[in-house]
Amino acid sequence: MYIKAASNISPQNTFGNQPYLSELAEYTGEQLTCIEPEYKTLIDPKLIRRMSRIIKMGVATGMDCLYQAGINAPDAIITGTTYGCLEDTNTFLSKMVQQNEEALSPTPFIQSTHNTISAQIALLLQCHQYNNTFVNGGASFENALLDAMMLLYEGEASNVLVGGIDEITVNSHTILKRMGLYRSQPVSNFELLNTPGRGTMAGEGSAFFLLSREVSGNDWAKIEGVSSFYKPRNTAEIKQQISIFLQSQNTNIHEIDLVITGNNGDLKNDAVYEQLLRYDLADAPVINYKALCGEYPTSSAFAMWLAAHEIKNGVCSFVPEADQTSLKKILIYNHYQNIHHSLILLSAC
């Protein structure tokens, strides 16, 4: 699959014609919040007031991605999300309790379903093609990519819009913090990996990609392969999965020019990467992306946007000592709570 265009709303200045991560945004606290654009240039103002924040982010990135690619309507729209529209869900459930289940507004309920984002994009484009949303925890975005890959390989579509999106709300943050996912004390995202402890910083984001099987002169990068695996028993099994994945792509670990990992500052989370980075991946430059976007189940979409940008620019922006002339293959390895593990291999076109 070839990435023809990509759009990203994140806690960094990544949307629109911003210089590529020229100035990184620092956050001190417990979460990283998306820097949202002026939506009126992309969405009808009359529709904006009926959209919750996550819907606006998803629609804006999806529409912007299509605009960049010069596509009026894709042949398929596929999204991956774990939590869906939390704000609308919370609004509807709160009103049920407050109003004793009477005289309820249907809008929050209609917009609380996980497939609302892909449906809104389709409605705005009058796109009646294949439309699907994956809700598979930390593997949601990867499964969306695999679905797009099958559609393209089977000839069912020529251009597929694929996205990964999740939001953080006050209530969801409180619940997940109580479960031990997030830090109990404020910390800077720049110091997150330098001060390991229990928990990490919450994040959110929306990233969309326009994928095609046909190569063109303006492609960002090529997606060689996608794989995910569930609850590995130990590090040896993780090593085996990585080896099998690279062999299936006819790639040797020494051919990887950059590795992007999902380290997030949590001691238990990062222990999964430690041995791999020390021995198996020791020869390749490594960068960690979650200090930029925070931790959320579909954060691998941000990682793929980052990798595509690196390949498009042809230089390794975050590792100055790396060989700047040979950035041809990037491997993304991420796991979410050591449950869902994923591998994405990108290469230059």
Do the Cβ atoms of 346 and 224 come closer than 8 Å? yes
pLDDT at site 324: 54
Q: Which CATH architecture has domain 224-347?
A: 3-Layer(aba) Sandwich (3.40)
Cβ-contact 102, 112 below 8 angstroms:
no
- Separation of first and last alpha carbons in the chain: 10
- Asked whether the domain spanning 224-347 has the same topology as the one spanning 2-212, the reply is yes
The per-residue pLDDT for 340 is 96
> What pLDDT sits at residue 114?
87
Q: What is the pLDDT of residue 323?
A: 52
The domain locations on the chain are 2-212, 224-347
Tell which CATH classification among 3.40.605.10, 3.40.640.10, 3.40.47.10, 1.10.150.120 matches the domain 2-212.
Answer: 3.40.47.10
Per-residue pLDDT of the chain (349 residues; tens, 9 = 90+): 999 999 999 999 999 888 888 889 999 999 999 999 999 888 888 888 889 999 999 999 999 999 999 999 999 999 999 998 888 888 888 888 888 888 777 777 777 788 999 999 999 999 999 999 999 999 999 999 999 999 999 999 999 999 999 999 999 999 999 999 999 889 999 999 999 899 999 999 999 999 999 998 889 999 999 999 999 999 999 999 999 999 999 998 889 999 999 999 999 999 999 888 877 777 788 999 999 999 999 999 999 999 999 999 887 777 655 555 568 999 999 999 999 999 999 999 8
In angstroms, how far apart are the furthest CA atoms of the chain?
A: 65
- DSSP secondary structure of 91-153: HHHHHHHHTTT-S--HHHHHTTSTTHHHHHHHHHHT--SEEEEE--GGGHHHHHHHHHHHHHH
CA distance 160 to 111: 23
By DSSP bridging, strand 221-230 and strand 286-288 are unpaired
Residue 85: what pLDDT? 87
Q: What is the pLDDT of residue 325?
A: 55
The span from the CA of 190 to the CA of 195, in Å, is 10
Please check whether residue 59 is in contact with residue 120, taking contact to mean a CB–CB distance below 8 angstroms: yes
β-partners of residue 166 are: 205
Go through the chain and tell me how many residues it has: 349
For the record, the structure tokens of 326 come out as 């040979």
